[in-house]
Amino acid sequence: MRTSQPQTIYLSDYKVPAYLVDTVELTFELFEDGARVHSTLELRRNPESADVSAPLELDGDSLKLESVALDGAKLAASDYEDRGDQLVIRSVPDQFRLTVVTWIEPQNNTRLEGLYKSSGMFCTQCEAEGFRCITFFPDRPDVMARFRTRIEANKEAYPILLSNGNDVEKGELENGRHFVTWEDPFPKPCYLFALVAGDLVEKRDSFTTCSGRDIDLRMYVEPRNAEKCDHAMDSLKRSMRWDEEVYGREYDLDIFMIVAVDDFNMGAMENKGLNIFNSSCVLASQETATDLAFQRIEAIVAHEYFHNWSGNRVTCRDWFQLSLKEGFTVFRDAQFSADMGSPTVKRIEDVTLLRTAQFAEDSGPMAHPVRPASYMEITNFYTLTIYEKGEEVVRMIHTLLGPDMFRKGSDLYFERHDGQAVTTDDFVRAMEDASGRDLSQFRLWYEQAGTPVLTVSDEFDAGQGVYRLTIEQSIPDTPGQTNKKPQHIPFALGLLGQDGQPLALQLEADASESPIERVLELTDASHTFEFHGLDAKPVPSLLRHFSAPVRVRYPWTREQLLFLMSHDPDGFNRWDAGQRLAVDVIQSLVGAADDAEVEPRLIEAYRSLVSDTDLDQALVAKMLQLPSEAYLIELAENADVPAIHQAREAVLKCLAHALRDELLACYQRNLETGAYEVTPEAIARRSLRNTALAWLLMINDEKGRTMAVSQMNDADNMTDRMGALRALVNSDYEDDRRQALDEFYNSFRDDPQVVEQWFSVQAASDRAGQLPDIRKLLEHPAFDWKNPNKIRSVVGAFAGQNLAAFHNPDGSGYDFLADQVCRLDDSNPQIAARLVTPLTRWQKFAPAYSGQMKSALERIRDKEGLSRDVYEVVHKSLA
Ligand code: PHE
Ligand code: ZN
């Protein structure tokens, strides 16, 4: 608990560690009323440190210190100082052995950092600064040590004892206890340490690496989840193969383990050789997991596995470099997912998240660069900017260098820095050195926050047959940063002729080469490009594949958008044109009369989409999704959420009425025949028929209702069951909704992952998730204030997805959220700080809303004993 005002930590204050740790020997004695941790460190002064007489300072948090010994001699209390958050020893030799014994209480650890208990098992979470909750240690990623870990526990309750590396010894102890010792041959920072003890079933498989080594693959889960491991195991094997083939990276230990735990703050964690997953991000079966969950699991399993190289073998020097491992690893997992499924659809999904949530973050009070310059609490910096914008930055390097040079750069990076803790600058330098390209201006992407705005204008000179395209860039101010310099932006584009064919792009400079797509490089505040040899004004297809994380402003006409929607050879830009058109139509209806006309050309465009069986069905399924409310809010100034909600729903209903016959046909056409499969084609079919169903229920279609009820009962998979449930929940058929929800709950009440989905489908619905309903969900026996997934599926889904209900003009949604944040601040500050996010965007909304949002924030600010996590978020958003 905080006693003084939280301190800001600056990148510019970085100093190398004064002491290095060569080896760590840990012994955990695990009991029901606590755990005793014996830690023996081999320490020495760092020859690179300028501070030759620095005292030894070890980090600690919530530890009960039992004893300290130096080179075997017990220290008297006057020889050291226990400051609570630090153990300080003033005089130590240049090289010595330190033994520290601490007592901790995992059973009372609700923050879920360090060692804690989840459903009867012990587990750890050490990133970013959780290891200091286990024992005193230099808890910073540039201190890398070899770990040997002995775990002792009651054998019946905890038959499985796991840590990093290889198990080297095991045996029986007195009183029904046993032990296992693990040794990790790779030096690692303490944030990659992990321990698990529990009564778990083991699922085994194996993988033969490219050099012929056999790796033992093991998954550990609670017995009731034994049948939900296949998909993760399969994803793991595909990830291992892919990383060999695409990046030349082979796995390095003999064992690779995955553990599923129910209580987890984040998605998963890449601990060396022992990845720990939030159950919802790893367990799946056809009956219990949706297609979305299957895809998410595949991506997260790959992400954590890929960290073994991008994160573990080469790690971060300090937490300001977090995007070094996260941006690169998200890029790698996105490439992997693209290879496993539909690349266009994967790109659409990633860009949707980026433009909706990361752009919002980047224009709000918490905006920060991909490499932040300061922070108060590092767990607040596991953000969309570090992960998703960080990915885009790596992707742009890939675009600028091309795949071959990028691979050379990545090989050089891994070779040069294997076993080191490095910076984003080291990454960029490896890319430069391998390719010979100068990325000095490009580095601004790491330093400057804010989403660049590209303003594009064009003119056609009929006399000369020249099309002139002018692109101006500007970067908005963000907290602490003004007057930004132009960045180096790869801008992919194509030009289309009147009949839709791609035109040769003949730039003045090199008429010899005229491809139909180019990546222009923007480096100045303004550029004008001239395209020659054209006989009419072309339609530009701008920023193809979303080649940079920027906003593009161009005065598109609805004709142009319709044209691109049906002709652009770039699937991503086809989708994007459809989104822009739909945004334009919805925006024009915000605040309009109830019977205002919906653009007939939009209806006709959707009619051809719903009936199109030639185009890639996965793309069609995506193109049918209207832009989300959250995205429309992000694009708005002084957003009036209920008005936006109403306009969007009016368009949806209008489309559903106009296209009723086509929707029914689409539903029938896409009915499953044959066995359930998780292929892009099958996923697209399910997505199309469930979209058709949802739209039909929006207009209270009786036929749709019958179809939904039978689909809900007969489905052989969760995607269809959930599709039908969601459609019913969002319909006006109140009795069916109630009945469907009850039946669903009764069938799946024993499965936490399904109950979470059941909570969120209600909490995210404006029909079933008004505030009184939400309060009832919080009283439901399956709700649990200690379980982050449950909190996210009710409180998070309400504030993040049920936007019209959350932004109730009476302010009740804001008050509710403030109450829950205050309540969670004591038990789990990390989760509390994340839940505040929707309130931090108060400046985005119309005055009637923003004033009340601000008051809710002020109420949180004034809570007594506010955690550092929530303090930072609330103070920055009120600044
Ligand atoms: N490093 C994890 C990942 O992205 C995320 C994480 C961060 C998990 C902090 C737990 C705590 O793979
Ligand atoms: Zn990661």
Supply the CATH number for residue 681's domain.
1.25.50.10
Task: Give me the mean pLDDT over the 761-772 stretch.
Answer: 98
For the CA of 304, the nearest atom of ligand 1: 12
pLDDT in tens, 405-435: 999 999 999 999 999 999 999 999 999 999 9
Average pLDDT in the 559-565 region? 98
The conformation of residue 508, written as its DSSP 8-state character, comes to G
The pTM for the full model equals 0.98
Domain C-terminal end among 663, 679, 699: 699
Residue 753: inside a domain? no
Specify the residue with its C-alpha closest to ligand 1, atom 7.
127
CA 387 to ligand 1: nearest atom: 4
**What pLDDT score was predicted for residue 673?**
73
Q: Which atom of ligand 1 is nearest to the CA of 265?
A: 10
Instruction: Write down which residue in 550, 582, 617 finishes a domain.
Output: 550
For residue 379, the ligand 1 atom closest to its alpha carbon is 9
Same domain for 386 and 410, yes or no, is yes
Q: What is the number of the ligand closest to the CA of 191?
A: 1
Domain boundary among 512, 528, 550: 550
**pLDDT number for residue 659:** 98
Q: Which residues are catalytic?
A: 304
State the pLDDT at residue 1. 45
Rounded Cα distance, 29 and 42, in Å: 21
Count: domains in the chain: 3
Domain that holds residue 471: 319-550
- Supply the residue whose CA is at minimum distance from atom 5 of ligand 1: 269
| Tens-place pLDDT, residues 323-352 | 999 999 999 999 999 999 999 999 999 999
In a domain, 843, yes or no: no
> Which residue's CA lies nearest to atom 12 of ligand 1?
269
Instruction: Judge whether residue 138 has pLDDT over 50.
Output: yes
- Three-state SS for 62-122 is CCEEEEEEECCEECCHHHCEECCCEEEECCCCCEEEEEEEEEECHHHCCCCCEEEEECCEE
Domain membership flag for residue 567? yes
Mean pLDDT calculated for residue range 252-261:
98
Under the banding of pLDDT at 50, 70 and 90, the label for residue 510 is low
Please name the residue ranges forming H helices in 787-846: 788-791, 797-801, 803-806, 812-827, 829-835, 837-840
> In this predicted complex, what is the ipTM?
0.99
Residue among 131, 263, 269 whose CB has most ligand 1 atoms within 8 A, to mutate = 269
Rounded to the nearest angstrom, the distance between the alpha carbon of 128 and the centre of ligand 2 is: 12
State which of 382, 384, 869 you would mutate to test the pocket of ligand 1, scoring each by most atoms of that ligand within 8 A of its C-beta: 382
Domain annotation covers residue 757: no
CATH of the domain at 369: 1.10.390.10
Determine the distance separating the centroid of ligand 1 and the alpha carbon of 308, expressed in angstroms: 13
pLDDT of residue 513 exceeding 80, the answer is no
- Asked if pLDDT for residue 250 goes beyond 70, the answer is yes
Dihedral of the alpha carbons of 760, 764, 766, 767, in degrees to the nearest 10: -20
Distance CA 427, CA 639 (A): 40
Determine the average pLDDT of the residues in 595-615: 96
Mutate to test the pocket of ligand 1, among 112, 113, 133, 266 (most ligand atoms within 8 A of CB): 266
- Centre of ligand 2 to C-alpha 816, Å, is 32
Looking at the structure, tell me whether residues 232 and 84 fall in a common domain.
yes
Q: State how far the Cα of 819 lies from the Cα of 585, in Å rounded to an integer.
A: 37
pLDDT for residue 155 is more than 50: yes
Using only C-alpha atoms, the chain has a radius of gyration, in whole angstroms, of 28
Residue 206 domain flag: yes
Atom of ligand 1 nearest to the CA of 130: 11
Please give the distance, rounded to the nearest whole angstrom, from the Cα atom of residue 665 to the centre of ligand 1.
Answer: 44
**DSSP H helices in 307-389:** 322-340, 343-353, 359-362, 384
Residue nearest to atom 11 of ligand 1 (CA): 127
Say if residue 29 is in the same domain as residue 152.
Answer: yes
Name the closest-CA residue to atom 9, ligand 1. Answer: 127
SS3 (DSSP) at 180: strand
Instruction: Report yes or no on 844 lying in a domain.
Output: no
pLDDT for position 576: 98
User: Contact at 8 Å (CB) between 836 and 821?
Assistant: yes
Report which bound ligand comes closest to the CA of 391: 2
Residue 610 CA to ligand 2 center (angstroms) comes to: 37
Has residue 826 got a pLDDT over 60? yes
Question: Structure tokens of 168?
Answer: 């080297």
At a CB cut-off of 8 Å and minimum separation 6, what does 580 contact? 556, 561
Question: What would the mean pLDDT of 600-624 be, rounded to a whole number?
Answer: 97
Hunting for tokens 């044209």 — which residue is that?
563
pLDDT at 757 over 60: yes
* Nearest ligand, CA 281: 1
Is the same domain home to 76 and 224? yes
Same domain, 261 and 400: no
Q: How confident is the model at residue 2 (pLDDT cuts 50, 70, 90)?
A: very low
User: Which residue minimizes the CA distance to atom 2 of ligand 1?
Assistant: 269
273 and 382 both lie in a single domain: no
Please report whether residue 823 resides in a domain.
no
- Taking a C-beta distance cutoff of 8 angstroms, is the pair 450, 347 a contact? no
**Ligand 1: distance of its center to the CA of 121 in Å?**
20
C-beta of residue 848 within 8 angstroms of C-beta of residue 840: no
The band of 229, judged by pLDDT with boundaries at 50, 70 and 90, is very high
CA dist list (Å): 86 to 14, 65, 89, 378: 18, 11, 10, 18
Residue 3, pLDDT > 70, answer: no
Q: Please give the pLDDT value at position 253.
A: 98
Q: How far is the CA of 867 from the centre of ligand 1 (A)?
A: 20
pLDDT of residue 509: 58
Do 481 and 364 sit in the same domain of this protein?
yes
Is 302 in the same domain as 325?
Answer: no
- Pocket around ligand 1 at a 6 A CB cut-off: 125, 127-128, 266, 268-270, 303-304, 307, 326, 382
Token duo for residue 763: 């909490």
- Mean pLDDT (whole number) for 564-581: 98
Closest residue to atom 8 of ligand 1, CA basis: 269
In this prediction, residues 62-67 reach a mean pLDDT of: 98
Q: Which ligand has an atom closest to residue 332 CA?
A: 2
Can you give the pLDDT at residue 508?
A: 75
Q: Tell me what the mean pLDDT of segment 99-107 comes to.
A: 98
For a pLDDT cut of 90, what percent of the chain falls above it? 98
Q: Could you tell me the CA-to-CA distances from 422 to 384, 526, 746 in Å, in that order?
A: 22, 35, 52
269 C-alpha to center of ligand 1: Å?
A: 5
Whether residue 437 sits in one domain with residue 579: no
Categorize the per-residue pLDDT at 683 as very low, low, confident or very high, splitting at 50, 70 and 90: very high
For residue 91, the CA-to-ligand 2 centroid distance in Å is 39
CA of 266 to the centre of ligand 1 (A): 6
Ligand of minimum distance to the alpha carbon of 310: 2
Residues 438 and 326 in one domain: yes
Ligand 1: which residue has its CA nearest to atom 3?
Answer: 269
Tell me whether residue 879 is in a domain. Answer: no
Which ligand 1 atom is at minimum distance from the Cα of 326? Answer: 4
| Amino acid at residue number 830 | Q
Give the mutation target among 116, 125, 127 for probing the ligand 1 site: most ligand atoms within 8 A of CB.
Answer: 127
Instruction: Of 219, 247, 212, give the one whose Cα is nearest residue 233.
Output: 219
User: Is residue 602 located within the same domain as residue 514?
Assistant: no
Atom 1 (ligand 1) nearest CA: 269
Report the DSSP pairing between strands 214-221 and 255-261.
parallel
Ligand nearest to the CA of 333: 2
Domain match, 559 and 546 both: no
Position 511 pLDDT exceeds 90: no
* CA 262 centroid distance within chain: 18
Secondary structure in 3-state letters for 517-530: CEEEEECCCEEEEE
Mean pLDDT for the stretch of residues 366-385? 98
